[in-house]
Amino acid sequence: MDRILFVGIFKFKENLKQKSTLYFLLFSLFVFVCGIVRQLGVNKNASGTFLMFVVLCNIYINFVAAYMFANEFSNGMYKQLATSNMNSFSFIIGRTLSVVMTSAFMGFIAIGCYAVWTIVGKEKVNVSDMTGTFIFFIILAFYISQVSYLLSELFLNYKSTVIFVALYTLVFPYAYVMVKSLWKSVDLIEKMPIWRLRARVRNADIRVADVTVILGISLVYMLLGLIIEQKSDFSRVNGDQQDE
């Protein structure tokens, strides 16, 4: 457990040192200023600005998770496992923890911006919005981490993993709805668990069933990744070291 926490915290600190984090902070500052300007005007809507910011943060989390797992694999994750005392499950949980911590960090920034916007616009703070959004950030990070892990196992390539994480999370849901809509009316929110949960956050109506489905899917992805790993180069790396 201590080793998992160490890996999670260490990788979280690495995430904060990435240039992409600096870009995110600059972007957050830009959104923060725009939000204040909006709150000083006639069309005040702190909740609306907050939810738009959350959606953009979600996109960033996708790439944080993809980078964390795809970069590890491209840099020889199997060799790291073979030369350390960690098993693959602990390794994955440690990386997932770092993504969750990064997501929580982003959630605090978003919630902080929202709190200031409500004060500037003299609006009532919606605690349910803040709580629901933070929960969503944590669940999303866990879910996207397992998606990234599975795709990393399949491709063992950084660029391919990042591309397919983006396709899976941002493009495929819309493509599915557009194709299905050719012969039947389809509601994107109702068909995609993670999107349905996002809608619940807007209405402060997070349901245990939605969370359970998403966590269940995440665990299935993790299990598939572990199964693929057992049949991958990891066994050959161990074998090579034993031969030496």
Write the DSSP assignment of 165-230 as a string of letters. HHIIIIIHHHHHHHHHTTTS---HHHH-HHHHHHHHHHTT---HHHHHHHHHHHHHHHHHHHHHHH
Residue 219's pLDDT band, with cuts at 50, 70 and 90, is very high
* pLDDT, average across residues 123-135: 80
Is residue 124 exposed (0-12), middle (13-18) or buried (19+ Cβ within 10 Å)?
Answer: exposed
Q: What's residue 12's pLDDT?
A: 80
Question: Number of helices and strands (H, E) in the chain?
Answer: 12, 0
What's the token pair of residue 108? Answer: 């605090």
Q: Mean pLDDT of all residues in the chain?
A: 77
* pLDDT, average across residues 66-88: 64
Q: What's residue 116's pLDDT?
A: 93
Locus of tokens 């996109």: 59
* pLDDT, average across residues 66-76: 69
Residue 242's pLDDT band, with cuts at 50, 70 and 90, is very low
What is the C-alpha separation between 211 and 213, in angstroms, rounded?
6
Asked if pLDDT for residue 85 goes beyond 60, the answer is yes
* pLDDT, average across residues 73-98: 68
Q: What's residue 178's pLDDT?
A: 74
- Best CA proximity match to 109, nearest among 124, 91, 130: 130
Q: What's residue 163's pLDDT?
A: 86
Q: What's residue 29's pLDDT?
A: 92
* pLDDT, average across residues 40-46: 85
Q: Does residue 240 or residue 83 have the better pLDDT?
A: 83
pTM (predicted TM-score): 0.79
Asked if pLDDT for residue 151 goes beyond 80, the answer is yes
Asked if pLDDT for residue 200 goes beyond 70, the answer is no
What is the C-alpha separation between 218 and 207, in angstroms, rounded?
17
